[in-house]
Structure 1
Amino acid sequence: MVRIIDYKQYTNEDGESFFALELQGGIEMVKSQKTERFYATARKVTIPSTFNEETCKSLIGTEMPGRIVKVETEPYEYTLKETGEVIELSHRYEYQPEIVQEAKVEKSSSTLDDFVKFENPVEQFSTNGVM
C-alpha cells in the first residue's frame, strides 16, 4: 500500500499549472554504506494529477493499493537540495499499481430442467418413515 502524503504545484512546458500527488511507500530498513548501521526510511514519488488544489488537499492520507519500485535509467546528474552536491544517479522511483485479479466464479452445470425433474415432489417424502 502507498499513502498520499502531500501535493505540489508545477508548471508544464506550455506555462499551465497542475498539481502532482506525493506518494509514500511503507517503512524500509536500509543499511548505511558509511556507518553500516540501519536506519528507517520510505520511498517517495510524485505523480501528476488532473485534480484541483482542494481535491489534492482532501486526498492526503488516502491509501491506495500498489508500491513504489526502483527503476534503472540512463545515468543522470542530480543536485542534493541540502548540500548542493551534484551526484550521478542511474535509477528513479515509480508508483506501480497493484494488479487486482478478479475472482473466478465457479458456475453450476445444473439447468432449470434438473430442478424440475421431480414431477410429484410430495411422493418423495414419507409421512410414516416408509416409502
Structure 2
Amino acid sequence: MVKVIDFEARKNDLGESFNVLIVQGGVMPVISKETGKFYVTIKKASVPCTLDSQTCEELIGSNLEGTVVKVETEPYSYAIEETGETIQLDYRYEYVNEGMLVEREHMVSASEVR
C-alpha cells in the first residue's frame, strides 16, 4: 500500500502540462553503503496522471494498492537540494501495482485478435 502525499504539475517534451501524484511507500530498513550502519527510510515515486489539480489535491492522504520499488537505470546526475551537492545515481524509485502487472501480462494486442 502507498499513500498519496502530494502532487506536482510538470511539462512533457512538447511543453504540454500534466500532473503527477507523489506517492510514498512504507518504512523500509536499509544499510548504508558508506558506513555499513542500519537506518530506516521511506521511498517516494511520482505517478503521471490525467487528473486535474483539484482532483489531485483531493487524493492527498488516500491510499493506493501497490508499492514503491527500486529500478536500475542508466547513470545520471542528481542535485541534492539541501546541500547543493551533485551525485551520480543508477536507479530510480517507481510505483508498481501487482494487479496491473498481471493484467499487462495477459493483454492481447489488436493485431493478435485478427
Establish whether TM, by shorter chain, passes 0.5. yes
For residue 47 of structure 1, what is the aligned residue in structure 2?
Answer: 47
The CA distance in 2 between the partners of 1:70 and 1:36, in whole Å, is 19
For residue 6 of structure 2, what is the aligned residue in structure 1?
Answer: 6
Give the paired residue count: 101
For residue 123 of structure 1, what is the aligned residue in structure 2?
Answer: none
Secondary structure of the residue aligned to 2:99 is coil
- Kindly indicate whether structure 1 or structure 2 has the higher relative contact order, using CA contacts under 8 Å at least 6 residues apart: 2
Secondary structure of the residue aligned to 1:99 is helix
Range 10-19 or range 52-61, more displaced: 10-19
For residue 87 of structure 2, what is the aligned residue in structure 1?
Answer: 87
The CA distance in 2 between the partners of 1:60 and 1:86, in whole Å, is 30
| Unpaired runs of at least 5, structure 1 | 102-131
Secondary structure of the residue aligned to 1:57 is helix
Q: Percent identity?
A: 48
Letter in 1 for 2:7: Y
Range 22-31 or range 49-58, more displaced: 22-31
Which structure has more helix as a fraction of its residues?
2
The CA distance in 1 between the partners of 2:43 and 2:66, in whole Å, is 13
1:58 to 2:58 alignment: yes
For residue 28 of structure 1, what is the aligned residue in structure 2?
Answer: 28
The CA distance in 1 between the partners of 2:97 and 2:3, in whole Å, is 12
> What is the TM-score with the length of structure 1 in the denominator?
0.68
Deviation, 1:78, is 1.2
1:16 to 2:16 alignment: yes
The CA distance in 1 between the partners of 2:17 and 2:24, in whole Å, is 23
For residue 126 of structure 1, what is the aligned residue in structure 2?
Answer: none
The CA distance in 1 between the partners of 2:49 and 2:61, in whole Å, is 16
C-alpha RMSD of matched pairs (Å) = 1.8
User: Following TM superposition, where does structure 1 have runs of at least 4 consecutive aligned residues deviating by more than 6 angstroms?
Assistant: none
